Homo-oligomer: A and B are copies of this chain.
Amino acid sequence: MAEPITFYFDFYSPYGYLASRRIDELAAKHGREVDWRPFLLGPAFAATGHRPLLDTPLMGDYAARDFARSARLQGVRFKLPAEFPKAALAPARAFYWLLDQNRQTAQALAHAVYRATFGEGRDGTRAELVADLAEPLGVPHAELLAAIQRPEIKQRLKDETRAALERGVFGSPFIFVDDEPFWGNDRLDQVDRWLQSGGW
């Protein structure tokens, strides 16, 4: 089987959410798995000098409209959380803690957090909510809450974020097909085509 494609995303990225709803199926169509890699956009913004979309003059109004329009086009429910953007530390730390135990559980949690955050507009940065969403996946509530406070888990997210930036990631979603980079939910059709043809 060919190498997995890599899916970098921030848990508080609406376009990351939209891409998350297509990426597994798209990869499977071409016999690929998806290596999900949450990171934090904050350090990427520090590197590029950009601000979160909604805080950027002119772009903010467009982005708010485009989040909803893109979701409608994709047939996906969308509701922006009341407080947006925020640093999504808890779900990303929980993800990496779970990843080393069971990759499928980690990815299932990522889907659940994204659905709660952008499908229902809930505050997906809250550790309590993340633990609630993980419980039906067989993850003990108290264990998750304790794990994401551990220094090595906090450090893991920092390391993953640094590694993403070193690989050239500056936005969410950001996808690598082998070494070919694609930025943005609106590039998924190109990802599909690249997987099909091996380039153009």
**Residues on A close to B: CB < 8 A?**
44, 47-51, 56-59, 61-62, 65-66, 69, 72-73, 165, 168-170, 181, 183-184, 186-187, 189-190, 193, 200
Copies per assembly = 2
Asked whether, in the complex, the Cβ of A73 is within 8 Å of the Cβ of B168, the reply is no
The 4 lowest CB-CB distance pairs between A and B, nearest first, are: A58-B170, A47-B57, A186-B186, A48-B56
15 A-B pairs with CB atoms under 8 Å apart are A47-B57, A48-B57, A48-B59, A49-B51, A49-B56, A50-B50, A58-B168, A58-B169, A59-B170, A61-B168, A62-B183, A65-B181, A73-B190, A73-B200, A189-B189
CA distance A61 to B165 in the complex (A): 12
Residues of chain B within 8 A (CB-CB) of A49 are 49-51, 56-57
Please tell me if the beta carbons of B58 and A44 are within 8 angstroms of each other in the complex: yes
Contacts of A184 in B (CB 8 A): 186
Taking the nearest CB of chain B, how far is it from the CB of A88, in angstroms? 20
